[in-house]
Structure 1
Amino acid sequence: MQDFSQFKKSLGMIKHYVYALCEIDDERRIPFYIGKGVNDRCLRHLREKGNSPKQETIEKLMAKNRLGIDILRHGIDKDKTAKLIEATCIDLLGIGELSNKVRGSGSEMGRVTIEEIHNLQSGELVEISEEHQGLAFLLNSTYKSGMSEIELFEATRGVWRNVPRDESIKYAYATYGGLIKEVYQIHSWVKAGTQQYFTRSFEHRDISKRWEFVGKKAPQEIRYTYVGKVIKKERSYGNPFIVVGKSD
């Protein structure tokens, strides 16, 4: 049975927020209820009793350790604004796809999991080990909430100027706002534009002196160690990437 009580303090630090209760299906998180609140509002559903479709789904998923709670927007000052965002999310997904009975009435970063909120608010940083040395790419201008896997990968793999390409750089960490969103294993570096991009276009940019890596998602045990955690890194001084995991 899942225990979400550890997240109560962190939830109290993010003002009004809009959340989604989700079914975890491998790497997919499928929303089945949208709500808004403050403090531990999203956790109160877990203590409610009844035989509604929502409660039945919650109990079933918790028993299987497959319940997820995603914070769609947080740091909202007014309840009125939270209501508007809640209603927009319900309209976007469609009331028929959710266990909400009504459509709803009337931030800093986009949708994040409750675990990520906890990691952001706790102040605890994960340090990249030497064996996982790599580059942390700071996707502050290209990351968008709700990006597909291929969009995130293509935003991370290229195209970079003056990027370190020695053999000790084994992994690429896609980060936004300090959070590690994904980890990729670097196979090699090639001239930018060598590979096809499906979600990006460089027609009006000179990328002749830039590079991109060839790679894939890191093994699951490495991703489990880092994804969703806040990365410990040095100051970037304006660079879009930082070497992490290097020995002193």
Structure 2
Amino acid sequence: MMDLSKYAKSLNMAQSYVYAFYDLEDETKRPFYIGKGKGVRCIDHIKRPDESPKSTQIKALMARNSLGIDILRHGMEESAAKLVEATCIDLLGVDTLTNKVRGSSSLMGRITLDELHQLLLKEETTIAPEHAGLAFLLNSTYKSGMSDLALYEATRGVWARVPKDDNLKFAYATYGGLVMEVYQIECWIKAGSQQYFTRELTLKPETKRMEFVGRVASQEVRDLYVGKLISKRPGYGSPFVKVGTGN
């Protein structure tokens, strides 16, 4: 069993740090979890396991004395540690890790050069009236490298107070204002009516939330908007806004 107590003093001297868990038998030392913290934060995962895939893997590796813990960067302010953590997760891809989310300060994380160009030069694209729809603001759920299915499931549900407007035929998955994908909405149904494969939902039977049934828009429509910064009004706390409606 790993002697963890001897590391407490040095960890408390490290200020904010970013750490990685990996299998010692893996010659590439590829992490299965990236985290940040202060003090004995990295050890807490071992001392206080939960029901997560991360804890399951830690327990299995501890059982055969094969758990590796590397400190990727230390001696940082917390703000710098957040950026390093998010960058590491973006580089490896959150879908390859047991991390549930991208990490702190992930807004405007890994994006393509074209997307950076659109974002920083503020070259906004206006949604045409024939492509009117809802722009879903996925700033907290979008993950660099997430699968097509995961992005669709993050976009299609589940939403409260959806506008009842048959003219809103498209759904725009956006991150920081950039369009990551466009879907054509076929219909709206009660949330939880469809199975989700990449996310867990806990909904009450009497829920009034909704989800849409849809498909990826035509290539013609995608070419107009995917990777573009679209013109839209502020959300004022709403997770979606109307686009292409002129109001």
Q: Same fold (TM over 0.5)?
A: yes
Contact 1:165 1:189 in 2 (8 A): no
Cα offset for 1:165?
Answer: 3.1
Work out the CA distance in 1 between the residues paired with 2:215 and 2:242: 19
Equivalence for 1:115: 114
1:247 aligns with 2:217: no
Judging changes above 3 Å, is the alpha-carbon distance between structure 1 residues 235 and 89 closer, same or farther for their aligned structure 2 residues? Answer: closer
For 2:244, give the aligned amino acid: G
Judging changes above 3 Å, is the alpha-carbon distance between structure 1 residues 89 and 173 closer, same or farther for their aligned structure 2 residues? Answer: closer
Cα offset for 1:231?
Answer: 1.2
Judging changes above 3 Å, is the alpha-carbon distance between structure 1 residues 89 and 144 closer, same or farther for their aligned structure 2 residues? Answer: closer
Equivalence for 2:135: 136
1:174 aligns with 2:170: no
Judging changes above 3 Å, is the alpha-carbon distance between structure 1 residues 213 and 244 closer, same or farther for their aligned structure 2 residues? Answer: same
Work out the CA distance in 2 between the residues paired with 1:180 and 1:153: 13
Judging changes above 3 Å, is the alpha-carbon distance between structure 1 residues 231 and 238 closer, same or farther for their aligned structure 2 residues? Answer: same
Contact 1:126 1:226 in 2 (8 A): yes
Report 1:143-222 matches (<5 A): 143-203=142-202, 208-222=207-221
Work out the CA distance in 1 between the residues paired with 2:206 and 2:171: 20
Cα offset for 1:205?
Answer: 5.8
Report 1:13-28 matches (<5 A): none
SS in 1 for 2:135: strand
Q: How large is the RMSD of aligned CA atoms in angstroms?
A: 2.9
SS in 2 for 1:119: helix
Q: What is the CA deviation profile of residues 147-191 of structure 1, one whole-angstrom value per residue up to 9, with x for unaligned ones?
A: 110000000000000011321010000001111000000000000
Equivalence for 2:237: 238
Judging changes above 3 Å, is the alpha-carbon distance between structure 1 residues 209 and 110 closer, same or farther for their aligned structure 2 residues? Answer: same
Work out the CA distance in 2 between the residues paired with 1:183 and 1:207: 30
For structure 1, the 5+ residue unaligned runs are 1-76, 93-106
Work out the CA distance in 1 between the residues paired with 2:206 and 2:139: 20
SS in 2 for 1:188: strand
SS in 2 for 1:161: coil
SS in 2 for 1:169: coil
> Is the radius of gyration larger for structure 1 or structure 2?
2
Report 1:57-72 matches (<5 A): none
Identity of matched residues, %: 55
Equivalence for 2:42: none
SS in 2 for 1:184: strand
Cα offset for 1:206?
Answer: 6.5
Contact 1:139 1:176 in 2 (8 A): yes
Contact 2:135 2:241 in 1 (8 A): yes
For 1:121, give the aligned amino acid: L
TM-score (norm 2): 0.56
TM-score (norm 1): 0.56
For structure 2, the 5+ residue unaligned runs are 1-78, 95-105
Contact 2:192 2:203 in 1 (8 A): no
Work out the CA distance in 1 between the residues paired with 2:157 and 2:115: 26
Equivalence for 1:124: 123
Cα offset for 1:207?
Answer: 7.1
For 2:164, give the aligned amino acid: R
